Structure 1
């Protein structure tokens, strides 16, 4: 009896490394007739490559209920593809029932491909470094570069004896060579110069080309906002880096904390404002957006002592207003991790691109420090 194993119509035949949600739909047939897999006691997918067998994965019999006869769905376990390098693989399906075990297909195993993802292409995730922390590290590295003293000049060797006339005299003995002096100073690190270098400046310009997911605000990592001009700012207390939030107290909740956020929006643009907030009273779209825009999609959120992430999406109709963030019926409001981004999707908080350096940038600067004789850990 010829047993076959095929991919169902329009099912994918390749999967990226780390993708545990791509599903292969497979079809088992015997003499070109679909096999009733619901009578099986055990269905196992065996995976291998050119080096041999790699691992097996069980298929739930209950998952066959709504599928055509002979078909089953197969998705990789979460940790499987993370350990598979890219390349060609093959699989067999072992079906055990009351009569014994049948292996599909009878001939060569079914082939599939594991392809690379964007992280595999670069070899690793590119992490970021806080700009302020980097500058502090640079200052420390600069202090390790010491100026070297110039070495003494070596003594000149004695002149050899003059030979007899007609014969060439023997070469005189050369005096000992002086010790080589220590390497002199090759320069110091000018941090202001580094920060103004093109590589650093290009990071600054990224904010001008912001896209969805980019935080348009600067200083949100430390709540380092510029105070606005509204009279209500006297009710706002600014906290240090360790506390890392801003607390606002008032019996008249009409003060605009958002006046600190020096960002002029573009009329007609859709923005999403998000932050971590706690306190008392409640906040809604009308208290968490930009004046002169629609109220947004934020329903009323009751505040407690527990931090919660809220977001509001709205379209700006005028640029003559202010960013608004206050809680109604509130005598206490705390806010941190503020993010303003283009578009209607709220993404996780992140610093402004101008406040980060990639590990690649860091490695280049580190190499320059070492070349100057300094150390950078």
Structure 2
């Protein structure tokens, strides 16, 4: 069924930076009819921009009591929009009830705008480095660093003697122009200095410790993958050599569908010899059903070895069972956010190429 999300007639479509009082009002429809949101167990507003998901904010079910069917209010709190630069953003409403999760709208997200206030015309930015601006600045620097010092100007030649007064004498010969100074040596670049410069350190920190839902696992995918197994299942879906921090909270989540037996996500840690040290178990996805299996836990001193995520059956199976999974993600904190690639996998694509080109333009190198 086609799901739509619309602003109500009198709702604003934009908000200024720092405004915590403006309230958006939306209406959720399914197949053209307003939906009953009062039966939901949770409602979440999620916002993003052209780069992807940014943040989310919960909407209380009790706030729907005085509203028309399908209507809901969103008053953006500072945690949702603080620090976001002025620009165009997109919004989705995620509604979870006993039947599952519905996302409004079902096609393109609903757009809204954040504008500058009078105190901050340039706007504040999330801790993200704009690669195009970064490359442009580095290339400008290259145009000056690559040039050597200008040679000294040659001495000016002597002027010819003036003839005696009276009859006009012959004009004196002009002096010879002095030789041009030698061109300075081509400037050089300290490659070690470049790669430890604050801009590069800031970029590395951002990549390794993103503020918004960094996926700690590598080799995951947002498209459906097939796994077949018997026994307890325990398919090794991602084996990432990371050490979790004792006392810190982590959340793992994975979409599961198509299995005719109950399944779940299990995160395990083994020693090099194969002894299981610790594990964390997600919620069960019923047979012939689909949904997210999610687990949140606090790591202890055992979580210092290879972390393995597995798709497991609830009971041991004598036959082989097949199904699909996707959106496997392990992240810091107690909230599961939308799936994304590990930042290192993103950096190895076009953005990494741009940075490398900027360094090469300066005469340095980056392997």
Coarse TM-score class (shorter-chain normalised): 0.3 to 0.5
More strand by share: 2
Normalised by the length of structure 1, the TM-score is 0.39
TM-score, reference length from structure 2: 0.40
